[in-house]
Amino acid sequence: MNTDLDSTIQQMAQQLQAWRRDFHQYAESGWFEFRTATLVTEELHQLGYQLQLGKEVVKADARMGLPTEEKLAEQEKRAIEQGALTQWLPHFSGGFTGIVATLDTGRPGPTLAFRVDMDALDLNEEHSCQHRPHNEGFASCNSHMMHACGHDGHTAIGLGLARILKQYEAKLSGRIKVIFQPAEEGTRGAKSMMEAGVVDDVDFFVAIHIGTGVPKGEVVCGSKNFLATTKFDVTYQGVAAHSGAKPEDGKNALIAAAHATLGLYGIPRHSEGSSRINVGVLQAGIGRNVIPDTALLKVETRGETNEINKFVYEKAMHIIEGAAKMQDVAFDIKLMGAAQSSHPSNQWVDFIYDLTKKQLPELTSIVKNRYQAAGSEDATYFMERVKERGGQATYMIFGTDLSAGHHNERFDFDENVMITAVKTLSTIALHLPEFGAKNG
């Protein structure tokens, strides 16, 4: 590791912590990242980056799981009260909370992109003496919003990386993009940015995450086994009636939803890989003596490949429609999120692996490819688009100690992992020309 670079990044530790804790305290869930986006934009503007904001990088009709206009307006007002920078807010108003910062060195070279996410979870943070953010005064002040997956750290890492890249601009070549993505939770945001073309010019791509069960000091250069997924809401609409006096006049949406739920869990597994189906929410009815006229299901399918996920999804559609016909009710399906399956580019992973082993001897372990627990990630939309257009892509994980598992109300992480991540990503950018020399 270059000792000058190492020293510069170590001096940034306090700033990384300050950014992370600020974002943590004012947690904002998907498409509500108004305050976060304005503060990130101001920092990038001060650094001198070329900025593309909001509708320039988020395709409106490709957004998934978008809150209502009323909710967006309510959360935008809340953001202003909590310190959002109003000069930048018009770019993000209405749920267009994406940012792409570009550093053009003016020297020949490829385009390298890093992706970090900014959103929190819909979760209430624990406020107790057992929880460090509460004890040290940076637990979330926003109801039902908590950074319980580390995205506050990811955003801080993105800003730290942007600062380092600017400081070492004279040693860089080509163009470097830092993509700040909204609404990763629920796999809702990446597709809209991908369809806006933000990675269409990218030759090399890296998405990151901290934690996920990887031990402290370990870096995973290419994480595999992200499942393709489709997330959707099903609404059944029937007819209410008095359950004692005139039950025959009713059309029971609750029974349709119940039949659908049981049927969905009966979808056969697939011989060519893992598949999943889950009904996470079933809500129906308004009273004991009323035939339920509405029912809501929140459903997700997953598959080891895009084809397996499609198989499960199509089976689910038949079952949902069949349940509606059984009870003579109407139904509507709303897409809420999606991600693809994707595998890292082997040559790119090999280069990062060899580079980090050589340049970052302080790491306890470097792993080329790790098969993660079978979750999903919408960064796969970016990865697949880059690969389709002839580029190379990977997903990196930076191990750290956790106080509790991801998506838990006591989640917290060792903030030193942010230094490791900034070091590693900066090193990749500074040594990228060696990849061309090695593989040319």
Token representation of residue 438: 């090695």
**Could you please report the per-residue DSSP string of 197-226?**
TTTTT-SEEEEEEE-TTPPTTEEEEEEE-P
The pLDDT score that the predictor gives to residue 367 is 87
Whether the pTM exceeds 0.85: the reply is yes
The pLDDT score that the predictor gives to residue 365 is 86
Residue 417: partners with Cβ closer than 8 Å, 6 or more residues away: 153, 210, 211, 216, 398, 399, 400
What pLDDT digit, counting tens, does each position of 213-271 carry? 999 999 999 887 789 999 999 999 999 999 999 999 999 999 999 999 999 999 999 99
Nearest to 130 by CA among 143, 139, 142: 139
Q: φ, ψ for residue 332 (rounded to 5)?
A: -140, 140
Alpha carbon of 52 to those of 96, 116, 364, 367, 434: distances in Å? 11, 15, 38, 34, 29
Q: Contact, 42 vs 36, CB < 8 A?
A: no
Q: Contact, 284 vs 292, CB < 8 A?
A: yes
**Could you please report the per-residue DSSP string of 329-374?**
-EEEEEEEEEE------HHHHHHHHHHHHHH-TT-SEEEEEEE--S
Token representation of residue 311: 């198989």
The pLDDT score that the predictor gives to residue 223 is 80
Q: Contact, 93 vs 76, CB < 8 A?
A: yes
Q: Is 123 left (phi over 0), alpha (psi -120 to 50) or beta?
A: beta
The pLDDT score that the predictor gives to residue 240 is 97
Token representation of residue 242: 């008095």
What pLDDT digit, counting tens, does each position of 167-201 carry? 999 999 999 999 999 999 999 999 999 999 999 99
What residue spans of 11-168 are helical by DSSP H? 13-25, 34-47, 69-81, 89-92, 132-135, 151-167
Nearest to 372 by CA among 389, 391, 397: 397
- List, for the chain, all residue ranges whose pLDDT scores fall below the cut of 70: 1-2, 371-374, 436-440
* Single-letter amino acid, residue 16: L
Token representation of residue 140: 């979330």
The pLDDT score that the predictor gives to residue 375 is 83
